[in-house]
Structures are given as C-alpha cells and as structure tokens.
Chain A
Amino acid sequence: MSIRIHYSPLSQHSRRVRVAAMELGLDIDWRLIDFAKGENRAAEYLQKNPAGKVPTLDDDGLVLWESNAIMAYLADKKPQANLYPTDARARAQVNQWLFWESAHFGVAAITLTWERVMKQAFMQQPADPALVAQGERDWSRYAAILNGQLEGREYVAGALSIADFALASIVVHREAAGIDMKPYRHLQNWVDRMEARDSFQKTKPPF
C-alpha cells in the first residue's frame, strides 16, 4: 500500500511535504482536504489528526501529522538522498533550523501573510495593525539571521536538506504580504534558487 497524505494546495505546510516527497522520488497517494467544505474539521479527519490541520500522513496505519515531522519521516525512507542526515551532529543542525523555522522565522512570515493576505481573502477582515507591527519587527530580526547564514552557503545547513524546504515554503506569499526581501540579498537569491527547483515549480499554490 502506498503512503497516503492528506493535503491542501493552499497550505504552505502541505507544500513543504509535497516538495520533500517529490525530491525523494516517493510515490504518494495524495488526498485533497477541502477547507471550504470543512473537511479538516470532519469527525473522520479529526480521528486521524485531532488538531484538524493539514498535512496528515497515513503509512499503513502510522498516522503522523506536523509537516516537519512528516518530512523527517519521509526522508528517513531514503537516507541515501541525505536530505535529513543520519550523523547525529549534522542531523541536529537540520533540526535546529527546522525548530527555528517553526518557532520564529515561520511565525513572522505567517503573521504577515495571514494579516495582510489570508484574513482578507478568507474572512473579509482587515489586518490588525498591532499584529502587523509585531510581524514586521520579528521579520526584520529573523530575516537578517537567515540572510547571514546563507552568506557563502548554497543551502541553510550546508547541503540541501528538509530545512530548506520548510524555510523556503513559508515565504511564498512574500509580495502580497509585504514581506521585505530587499535588504536580504543572500536570502533572496536562495529563495530564487529553491523556487526554481522542479519540486517547487510543480507545487505552486493556486494564487
């Protein structure tokens, strides 16, 4: 039985998992979850993922959610691809960037994307100025750090890894969200490189 993954084409967290699966050359049975129809809050789905979010993986009875954990699990199926290194220290560094993405960098990008793009598109609500200000402050702090890391490096942890997929997927709506890339040349160049990859090209969100 092939691995099944529930996802939404609108979701950055789904996209990173689609990118990882494609880069790994894994055959996945993709199942669309329609937020508009409330499918992520349906009882059957909540039984798999009580958080009611996408993505969720089901591999022959192993039900797993949280996009970074799913990427790690998929990458461990193809250790030779080295997208999630097996050496303890190299893996720790990839973990460090994954956790930093989900706790800091990603939160800043999501705040600006949610306030300036999604909230209006899906809930017809205006952006909250206090949250935008917080998002801007956090973005400039964290973007500078990632930019520094990418100076003289092709990828965040040296070699291409699932951390690059996590970090690059979260800034997809940067233009509409007013996420300022101009001061961060190395960050911009790296995002361009990531988005030029086949896996990113084939998983562009519908808007």
Chain B
Amino acid sequence: MLTLYGHVNPLSINTLKVRVALAEVNAEFRYQPVDLAKGEQHRAEFVALNPYAKIPLLVDDDFILAESDAIMWYLAETFAPARLLGTTPRERARTLQWCDFVSTGLYPAYYDLYLHTVSNAPDKRLPTIAESATKRLARSLGVLEPLLGKQETLTGQFSIADLSAAVVVRNIQDRLPFDVAAHPHLLAWYARVTTRGPWQAAMAAAAH
C-alpha cells in the first residue's frame, strides 16, 4: 500500500504534482497530511522517515522516497513507464532534462518571486531578489513559449515533466502579480494538461 505524506492543502504545489501523478498511474494511496505551520515536518517520527524534513514523501511498504520529481519518476517507472517517461533512452533523457529545467529554473524563479512579493512579511521582501526572480521567470517562460508553439508537450509526448511545469504555471497564475497572457502557447499547453482526466480527478479528490 502506498502512503503519501503531503501538505494539509492537497493543492500545494509539490504535493499536487505527486497527487496528479498518482492519478495518472491510477494507484490507490493513503494520504497523511503534515502540518508545516505546526512544524510537524521536524517531529522525530517524521524525520525518522525523511531526514530532509520536507514533504511530499512517499512510502511504499518498506521503501521510502522524498523529492517530488523522484517520486513521480518512481511511480511512472513502476506503473506506466512507456506512457509517462518515454521508451527510448533519448525520450527518457528529455523527460529528465525538462524535470531538471523546472526544478532548477522555472520553479525557483517562481518561488523567489512569490516569497519576495507576496508571502514574506513586507520588511522581509528583498527588492533585489524580486527583480532577479522576475528576470529569471521571464527567461524560463521564454524558453517554454516557442517550444510549446512547435509541439504539444515539453518532450514531444506527455510525461511527468508536463506535470512538474504545469503546477508551477498554475501557481504563477494564482499567486503572482505576473502576467502570463503574453505566452499563448504556454497557456494552450496548460489547458491541455489540466483538462486531462487524472488532473481533473486529482483536483476533485482534493476538494473533499
């Protein structure tokens, strides 16, 4: 039986992508919310499972795995490798490349901008970071926009990389004073990803 430790808000970015991946592979799982506001990630029982003291965390019997992308990859590999990772070494390498692009480029740019324009207390918002994050975010979206004008998905076939990127684009739209309207191909791709059955199912499940 799979157990997912995740955010009390199941739509929280790193938790959501794993929940959609679970829906994509149609796996049943038990959901265990970890309350970050109460510091539950630092509790001894949790740290014993995950020394990183972060969520999400997947427990598959005696196998324990952290890091959302590693978790999505493992789920895909276990349940539906050809469909969610690609079949050839080249396709799989591209899937990993785009996951890495999101985790080292798109996501940190979004998150820094979120922290320093929205989430931090006003006296903890650093204009230099907000400024550099705005540039980095524009640069990352500038990489995606022409690509998605040429193809339907990041790698050429739907993969977990699309999920990684889509949850960030969701949060950019929901939370940031940043206009993505200048990226029509990105928005069209976002609509394709988020109208998939598993995405819809994960959203519906989170509403309960």
Q: Which residues of A line the B interface, CB within 8 A? A: 50-51, 62, 64-70, 72-73, 76-77, 88-89, 91-93, 95-96, 98-100, 102-104, 107, 128, 130-131, 145, 148-149
Contacts and interface: CB of A to CB of B under 8 A. Distances in A.
A102 B100 contact: yes
Nearest to B74: A92
B73 interface: yes
A64 B86 CA distance: 15
A93 B67 CA distance: 10
B63 A148 contact: no
B93 A103 contact: no
Contacts of A67: 100
Contact of A72 (B53, B96, B129, B139): B96
Contacts of A130: 126, 128-129
B39 interface: no
Interface string B132-173: 000000011011001100000000000000000000000000
Interface magnitude class on chain B:
35 or more
Interface stretch (B21-29, B101-109, B178-186, B193-201): B101-109
A69 B69 contact: no
Nearest to A51: B143
Contacts, number: 96
A98 to B, nearest CB: 8
Give 8 nearest A-B pairs by CB, closest first: A66-B100, A95-B70, A69-B97, A99-B67, A92-B74, A73-B93, A69-B96, A96-B70
Contacts of B52: 100, 104, 145
Given A92-B73, A107-B108, A50 B143 contact: yes
B66 A96 contact: yes
B38 interface: no
Contacts of B70: 92-93, 95-96, 98-99
B208 interface: no
A68 B129 CA distance: 26
Contact of A93 (B65, B92, B103): B65
A86 to B, nearest CB: 10
B146 to A, nearest CB: 7
B51 interface: yes
Contacts of A77: 89
Contacts of B69: 95, 99
A204 B73 CA distance: 33
Interface string B80-105: 00000000011011101101110111
